[in-house]
Structure 1
Amino acid sequence: MVLEHALLPVRPGLEQAFEAAFAEARELIAASPGFRRLSLSRCLERPGTYLLLVEWERLEDHTEGFRGSAAYQRWRELLHSFYDPFPTVEHFREVLTATPTRA
C-alpha cells in the first residue's frame, strides 16, 4: 500500500466552493483502479489548508493510472484553480503503526 500526501492551500474565501468541488471530484478518483480510500481534512490553525491522504495499491496506480486518465483531466478542471501555490504531492510507505495499549 502507498499513501499519497498533499497539503492543499486553497485561496482565501474559496473554501466552501472547494469542498463542494471536491465532493464531486472524489467520485472520479474512487473509480480508479488501485484506489483504496481517501480522506480530506481541514486544518484548524490554517482553515485555508487541507490535508489530502489517498491510499493506493501501488505507486503506479496514481502516477500512471489516475494521472494518465480522462478522469484526472476532469479532476484538474474541478480542483486545480483553487490552489495557491500549487501543492506538492508525495508518496509514502508505512514503517510503523501504534494502537492504544490497555492497562
Structure 2
Amino acid sequence: MILEAVMLQVKPGFEEEFEIEFKKASNIISSMKGYKSHELQRCLEVQGKYLLLVNWDTLEDHTVGFRKSEAYQEWKRRLHHFYDPFPIVEHFEMVDLALE
C-alpha cells in the first residue's frame, strides 16, 4: 500500500469554504480504482494548514489512474484554487519493523 501525504496551506479566510468543498469532492477520490481511504487533518497551531493522507493500492493508482482521469479535472476545479502555495505531494511506503 502507498500513502500519499500532502501538506495543504489554504488561503486565509477560505478555511470553512475549503472544508465544505473538500467534503463534497471526497466522493471523487473515493470512487477511483486503487483508492483505499483518506483523511484530512486540521493543524492546531497554524491557521489554514491541513494534512491530507490518502491510501492507494499502488503508486500508479494515484499518479496515473487518478491524476490522468477526468475525475481529477473536477477535483482540481473544486479544490486547487484554495491553496497558496501550491502543495507538494509525496508518496510513502510502510517500513517493515518486525523483529526477526
TM-score (norm 1): 0.92
Gaps of 5+ in 1: 98-103
Other-structure match for 2:28: 28
**Alignment partner of 1:51 is 2:57:** no
- Please give the secondary structure, in 1, of the residue aligned with 2:20: helix
- Please give the secondary structure, in 2, of the residue aligned with 1:45: coil
- Please give the secondary structure, in 1, of the residue aligned with 2:5: strand
TM-score (norm 2): 0.95
Q: Counterpart of 2:21 in structure 1: which amino acid?
A: A
Identity of aligned residues (%): 54
Deviations 1:57-101 (A, max 9, x none): 00000000000111100000000000000000000001156xxxx
Q: Counterpart of 2:4 in structure 1: which amino acid?
A: E
Q: Counterpart of 1:22 in structure 2: which amino acid?
A: F
How many correspondences in the alignment? 98
1:6-45 map, 5 Å: 6-45=6-45
Provide the C-alpha distance between the structure 2 equivalents of 1:22 and 1:57, rounded to a whole number of angstroms: 22
How far has the Cα of 1:47 moved from its partner? 2.3
**Alignment partner of 1:71 is 2:71:** yes
- Please give the secondary structure, in 2, of the residue aligned with 1:71: helix
Other-structure match for 1:101: none
